[in-house]
Amino acid sequence: MTGLTRKQQQILDFILKGQRTEGATPTFREIADQFGFRSLNSVTEHVRLLRQKGVLESEPGKARSLRVTSPLAKMRSRIVDIPLFGSIPAGLPQTREQDAEGCVSVDVESIDDSRSSSNTSTV
């Protein structure tokens, strides 16, 4: 991701603030009014560049669907949380629900079994 210009960062902050305070993304007209743009094309171009830089996403055809994305979000999608249940009682199996005592976060690529089948090393 390329760094943001000062104006892009201000627009991104304005969108975030609108989402937090109003519960909805500001319209392009509201963004234009806030920053003194005379044309909506200026807003469209800034938003296009923010999408291109990976800090904004939207759903095509939906109004007010802009979402600010974290640069770490793409990395986080590769991580899964595995619940820890503590000790398991010995004996015959019993049907009972158990609450997880915690979890371990694991990068999915580190447990890719397609690599381990050809690379059988002992630990």
Is the confidence at residue 105, as pLDDT, over 60?
yes
> In this structure, what token pair is assigned to residue 56?
């904004």
118: helix, coil or strand?
Answer: helix
Domain assignment of residue 115, yes or no: no
In a domain? residue 34: yes
86 domain-assigned: no
Q: Domain for residue 49, yes or no?
A: yes
Choose the weakest-confidence range: 25-34, 84-93, 106-115.
Answer: 106-115
Q: Is residue 45 in some structural domain? A: yes
Predicted confidence (pLDDT) at residue 123 exceeds the cutoff of 50: no
Q: Is 60 part of any domain? A: yes
User: CATH number for the domain including 51?
Assistant: 1.10.10.10
N-terminal to C-terminal alpha carbon distance within the chain: 38
Distance between CA atoms of 55 and 69, rounded to whole angstroms? Answer: 5
Of residues 120 and 49, which shows the higher confidence score? Answer: 49
Q: Do the Cβ atoms of 15 and 31 come closer than 8 Å?
A: yes
16-25 average pLDDT score: 87
Per the DSSP assignment, residues forming a β-bridge with 106 are 80
Instruction: Kindly report whether the global pTM for this prediction surpasses the value 0.75.
Output: no
Query: pLDDT band at residue 74, thresholds of 50, 70 and 90?
Result: low
The answer to whether residue 59 sits within a structural domain is yes
Instruction: Give 34: exposed, middle or buried? Use CB within 10 Å, 0-12, 13-18, 19+.
Output: middle
Domain range for 49: 6-68
Is residue 85 predicted with pLDDT exceeding 80?
A: no
Residue 119 has pLDDT above 70, yes or no: no
